[in-house]
Amino acid sequence: MKKRDLPTKTCPVCHRPFSWRKKWAENWHDVKYCSNRCRREKNSPGKNAAAPSPNNSHT
Ligand SMILES: [Zn+2]
C-alpha cells in the first residue's frame, strides 16, 4: 500500500521518472526536468559544450 502518493514525471532529457519534491511544491506544474543538470542539458542537446564562444555566429 502506498503511503505517499506522490506525483511523478518523466524527465525528457534522461528519460527517468522522478517524483515530486518539496522544493517543487510551488511550481510542480512547471517542472519538466529531474534536475538542474538536465534542465541545462536540454539547452545543449548532445552538442559539445567545449565551444565557449559567446559571440556565436547565430544570425
Ligand atoms: Zn533528467
Task: Tell me the CA–centroid distance for residue 25 and ligand 1, in Å.
Answer: 18
| Residues whose CB falls within 8 Å of the CB of residue 14, separated by 6 or more in sequence, listed in order | 34, 38, 41
pLDDT tens by residue, 7-57 = 999 999 999 999 999 999 999 999 999 999 999 988 775 555 555 556 656
pLDDT of 54 reads 66
Task: Tell me the CA–centroid distance for residue 17 and ligand 1, in Å.
Answer: 8
φ, ψ dihedrals at 28, nearest 5°: -55, -35
What is d(CA 38, CA 15) in angstroms, rounded to the nearest whole number? 10
pLDDT of 52 reads 59
Q: What is the pTM of this model?
A: 0.62
φ, ψ dihedrals at 10, nearest 5°: -110, 125
Task: Tell me the CA–centroid distance for residue 31 and ligand 1, in Å.
Answer: 11
Q: 59 vs 52, 55, 56, CA distance in Å? A: 17, 10, 8
Task: Dig out the grid coordinates for 15 from the structure.
Answer: 528519460
Task: Tell me the CA–centroid distance for residue 46 and ligand 1, in Å.
Answer: 14
Task: Tell me the CA–centroid distance for residue 14 and ligand 1, in Å.
Answer: 4
